[in-house]
Amino acid sequence: MRAAEPVAPPAPVVTAPPQASPVTRPVPVTPASRPGSTRPAIRRSVPVTTPRPPVATPMVQRPAPVSIPTAPVSSLPAPRPSWEVRPVAPDAREIAESVYVVKPGDTLRAVADRAGAGSEVIARANGLTPPFMIRAGQRLTIPGGRYHLVRPGESGIAIARAYGVSWSRIVDANALSEPYVLRAGQRILIPGTAPGATPLSSAAERAAAFKLDVDDILTGGEPALASNQEPAKPSATPRRVLPPTAVVAAPARLRSGFAWPVDGRVVKRFGAGSSGERNDGIKIAAPVGTPIKATADGVVAYVGDGIAALGGLVIVKHGDGWTSVYGHASKLMVQRGQSVKRGQTLALSGQTGFADRPELHFELRRGRTPVDPLSQLPRP
């Protein structure tokens, strides 16, 4: 239901000083005929004042226009996301750079735990690649810095907010990769904390750490898995509500091509716009209440309105690294962790967020990279 629109207060009425009553005489005035009428206009007599010197009209200050708030987004009952439910304490431990000589029976994770550093960071510093095999006598550089120990249920977004650093910087510093699910006991390097590094964060970055984007949700939205915890199995119905501590497993494979999420005219294309802003998807004009369909089979990874610009938002993971994004919805009809089929209704279109008109914001991503949807959708 759309919220009531605020009404601007009426402009003050200014009354001119009283004047002497003028002499009037009837003058015929012919009003315009009604459109489509065949009857002749009726001539009426109305009083016309005799001319008098003009009176200066006082300046009236009109009230500034009142902005209309975005319509609320309707959604199914669900808990708040993990990064709001499970805050993080910024208790990172600082270690100095060192060199470790590998002993017989060592694994990379065991070395990382002994040194108090992150295994991904050590692998990156020493050029190790999966499956990260090390051998006795090998000398490993242990990068210095501040390392945060991940606890069960902590998400990347919450960790970034605790330290006032953008999550994308943490992803890059730790060489995190698909599926971007943290594990309890993992150590995460907080960038900007090593000697000679860029300062931890500026005021602007601390503020930006609390501003979500699609990449943050895809790479830092899932809670950390406990050692004995398995990802949640997808559900075929929105009646099953996952707790925020449950991890949603993405499908392994993309099982079909992509279909159009709505029928409509593309009003904004992928890429840089005329004023330099970048659009990571396309905008499709659609009347409010138009069903938004899943572009392919997948599992819902996010439902909510946490990204202000996109309003009502659904994110679906499809496998093989593919993700689809649906924004500006007025009503959200699925739950996080729900499996969906190609053509299944996810939401109803709207004009929420920063939408210019009733429209759908639609994205396709491969990994962290936005892909032009028109290169993947069938020709209309």
Cα 242 from Cα 124, distance rounded (Å):
35
Percent of the chain with pLDDT over 90: 71
Q: Is the peptide bond before 179 cis (omega within 30 degrees of 0)?
A: yes
Provide the token pair at 35.
Answer: 């459109």
Q: Is the pLDDT of residue 372 over 70?
A: yes
pLDDT at 201: 56
pLDDT at 70: 57
Cα 112 from Cα 121, distance rounded (Å):
9
Cα 221 from Cα 325, distance rounded (Å):
15
Q: What is the pLDDT of residues 270-284, one digit of tens each?
A: 998 777 778 999 999
Out of 59-73, 260-274, 303-317, the most confident range is: 303-317
Mean pLDDT of the chain: 84
Cα 351 from Cα 70, distance rounded (Å):
8
| Selection from 344, 182, 318 nearest residue 252 by Cα | 318
pLDDT at 72: 85
- Residue pair 214/180 in contact (Cβ under 8 Å)? The answer is no
- Residue pair 252/319 in contact (Cβ under 8 Å)? The answer is yes
Q: Which of 61-65, 243-247, 366-370, 372-376 has the lowest mean pLDDT?
A: 61-65
pLDDT at 211: 87
DSSP string for 86-132: S-----PEEE--EEEEPPTT--HHHHHHHHTS-HHHHHHHTT--TT-
Over residues 40-61, mean pLDDT: 44
Provide the token pair at 368.
Answer: 């962290």
Q: Where are the alpha helices (DSSP H) in the chain?
A: 82-85, 108-115, 119-125, 156-163, 167-173, 203-208, 214-220
Cα 374 from Cα 380, distance rounded (Å):
10
Over residues 88-99, mean pLDDT: 96
Provide the token pair at 256.
Answer: 């079909």
Estimate to the nearest angstrom the gap between the alpha carbon of 349 and the chain centroid. 16
Q: What is the pLDDT of residues 286-343, one digit of tens each?
A: 999 999 999 999 999 999 999 999 999 999 999 999 999 999 999 999 999 999 999 9
| Selection from 149, 142, 146 nearest residue 185 by Cα | 149
pLDDT at 249: 87
pLDDT at 1: 38
Dihedrals phi, psi of 326, to nearest 5 degrees: -130, 115
Confidence label for 353 from pLDDT (cuts 50, 70 and 90): very high
DSSP letter at 238 equals: T
Over residues 18-32, mean pLDDT: 43
pLDDT at 150: 97
Dihedrals phi, psi of 179, to nearest 5 degrees: -95, 15
| pLDDT higher at 198 or 179 | 179
Estimate to the nearest angstrom the gap between the alpha carbon of 142 and the chain centroid. 36
| pLDDT higher at 191 or 68 | 191
pLDDT at 19: 45
Q: What amino acid is encoded at 73 in this protein? A: V
pLDDT at 91: 96
Over residues 201-224, mean pLDDT: 84
Confidence label for 198 from pLDDT (cuts 50, 70 and 90): low
pLDDT at 31: 43
- Residue pair 328/312 in contact (Cβ under 8 Å)? The answer is yes
pLDDT at 155: 97
Cα 175 from Cα 219, distance rounded (Å):
12
Confidence label for 30 from pLDDT (cuts 50, 70 and 90): very low
Distance between first and last Cα of the chain: 32
Sequence-separated (6 or more) residues with CB below 8 Å from residue 334 = 76, 238, 300, 303, 314, 340, 346, 347
Q: What is the pLDDT of residues 111-144, one digit of tens each?
A: 999 999 999 999 999 999 999 999 999 999 999 9
Other Cβ atoms within 10 Å of 87 Cβ, number: 11
